Structure 1
Amino acid sequence: MRPALGGHLAMLAFSALVAGSFALGSRAANDIDPLVMTAARFWIAAAVLAVLAYIMGAWDNRVFRAPWRFVVLSGLISGYFVSMFEGLKTAPPISTSAVFTLTPIIAAGFGWLLLRQRLTGRMAVALAIGGVGALWVIFRADLQAALAFDVGRGEFIFFWGCVAHALYTPLIAKLKRGENTVMFACMTLLGGAVLTSLYGAQAIVATPWKALPGVVWITLIYISVFASAASFVLLQFAAMRLPSAKVMAYTYLTPTWVICWQLALGAPPPPLLILIGIALTVLALVLLLRDDDAPTAAT
Structure 2
Amino acid sequence: MMKIAHAKAAMTAQGNKNGYVHGLMLLTILLIASSFPVAATITHALPPAVMMFVRFLLAALLFSPFVLVRNGISLPSLRSSINYIVISIPLVVFFWCMFKSLRYTSLLNTGALFTMVPTITAVLAIIINKDTITRIRALGIFIGTLGAVWIVFRGDWQALMNLDLNYGDFVFMIGCLFLGLYNALIKRLYRNEPMELMTFWVLCWGSLWFLVLCWQDMASIDWVGVELNVYAGIAYLSLFTTLTTFFLLQFSIVRIGATKVSAYNFLTPVFVILLGIILGMEQFIPITLPGILLVVSAMLLIQWEKDSKPAQRKQSV
Question: What TM-score, normalized to structure 1?
Answer: 0.89
Whether the aligned pair in 2 keeps the contact of 1:34 and 1:82 (CA below 8 Å) is yes
Per the alignment, residue 31 of structure 1 pairs with 45
CA distance in 2 between counterparts of 1:226 and 1:196 reads 19
CA distance in 2 between counterparts of 1:102 and 1:58 reads 40
CA RMSD for the aligned pairs? Answer: 2.5
Per the alignment, residue 239 of structure 1 pairs with 253
Pairwise CA distance, 1:95: 4.0
1:215 aligns with 2:229: yes
CA distance in 1 between counterparts of 2:151 and 2:177 reads 18
Per the alignment, residue 4 of structure 1 pairs with 18
CA distance in 2 between counterparts of 1:58 and 1:97 reads 41
CA distance in 1 between counterparts of 2:223 and 2:276 reads 27
Pick from 201, 208, 211 the counterpart of residue 187 of structure 1. 201
* AA partner of residue 83 (structure 1): C
Pick from 162, 185, 188 the counterpart of residue 174 of structure 1. 188
Whether the aligned pair in 2 keeps the contact of 1:104 and 1:245 (CA below 8 Å) is yes
1:267 aligns with 2:281: yes
Pick from 274, 297, 313 the counterpart of residue 283 of structure 1. 297
Any unmatched runs of 5+ in structure 1? none
* AA partner of residue 141 (structure 2): L
Pairwise CA distance, 1:185: 0.8
CA distance in 2 between counterparts of 1:136 and 1:151 reads 18
Pick from 34, 47, 51 the counterpart of residue 65 of structure 2. 51
| Offset from partner CA, 1:235-278 (integer Å, 9 cap, x none) | 11111111221010111111111222333444233765556545
Whether the aligned pair in 2 keeps the contact of 1:131 and 1:281 (CA below 8 Å) is yes
1:98 aligns with 2:128: no
CA distance in 1 between counterparts of 2:72 and 2:280 reads 41
Per the alignment, residue 156 of structure 1 pairs with 170
Pairwise CA distance, 1:52: 1.3
Pairwise CA distance, 1:230: 0.9
CA distance in 2 between counterparts of 1:147 and 1:22 reads 23
| Offset from partner CA, 1:143-191 (integer Å, 9 cap, x none) | 3454466334433321211110111112112112221110111111111
| Offset from partner CA, 1:36-92 (integer Å, 9 cap, x none) | 111111101111222111233466644553422222211100111111112223433
CA distance in 2 between counterparts of 1:172 and 1:195 reads 18
Per the alignment, residue 35 of structure 2 pairs with 21
Any unmatched runs of 5+ in structure 2? 1-13
CA distance in 2 between counterparts of 1:137 and 1:155 reads 18
Whether the aligned pair in 2 keeps the contact of 1:185 and 1:232 (CA below 8 Å) is yes
CA distance in 2 between counterparts of 1:274 and 1:155 reads 23
Which is further off, 35-44 or 51-60?
Answer: 51-60
CA distance in 2 between counterparts of 1:5 and 1:94 reads 32
Which is further off, 133-142 or 93-102?
Answer: 133-142
CA distance in 1 between counterparts of 2:237 and 2:144 reads 26
- Residues 273 and 37 of structure 1, relative CA distance in 2, 3 Å threshold: farther
- Residues 238 and 281 of structure 1, relative CA distance in 2, 3 Å threshold: same
Per the alignment, residue 255 of structure 1 pairs with 269
Pick from 85, 99, 110 the counterpart of residue 85 of structure 1. 99
Question: Which secondary structure state, in structure 2, belongs to the residue aligned with residue 200 of structure 1?
Answer: helix
Which is further off, 77-86 or 50-59?
Answer: 50-59
| Offset from partner CA, 1:99-150 (integer Å, 9 cap, x none) | 2221111101111111122223322111001222344456675534544663
CA distance in 1 between counterparts of 2:296 and 2:26 reads 12
Which is further off, 199-208 or 86-95?
Answer: 86-95
Whether the aligned pair in 1 keeps the contact of 2:277 and 2:284 (CA below 8 Å) is no
CA distance in 2 between counterparts of 1:119 and 1:258 reads 29
Per the alignment, residue 196 of structure 1 pairs with 210
* AA partner of residue 245 (structure 1): T
Whether the aligned pair in 2 keeps the contact of 1:4 and 1:242 (CA below 8 Å) is yes
Question: Which secondary structure state, in structure 2, belongs to the residue aligned with residue 31 of structure 1?
Answer: coil
Question: What TM-score, normalized to structure 2?
Answer: 0.84
CA distance in 2 between counterparts of 1:278 and 1:151 reads 25
- Residues 269 and 106 of structure 1, relative CA distance in 2, 3 Å threshold: same
Whether the aligned pair in 1 keeps the contact of 2:141 and 2:298 (CA below 8 Å) is yes
CA distance in 1 between counterparts of 2:48 and 2:135 reads 39
- Residues 178 and 7 of structure 1, relative CA distance in 2, 3 Å threshold: same
* AA partner of residue 55 (structure 1): V
CA distance in 2 between counterparts of 1:254 and 1:145 reads 20
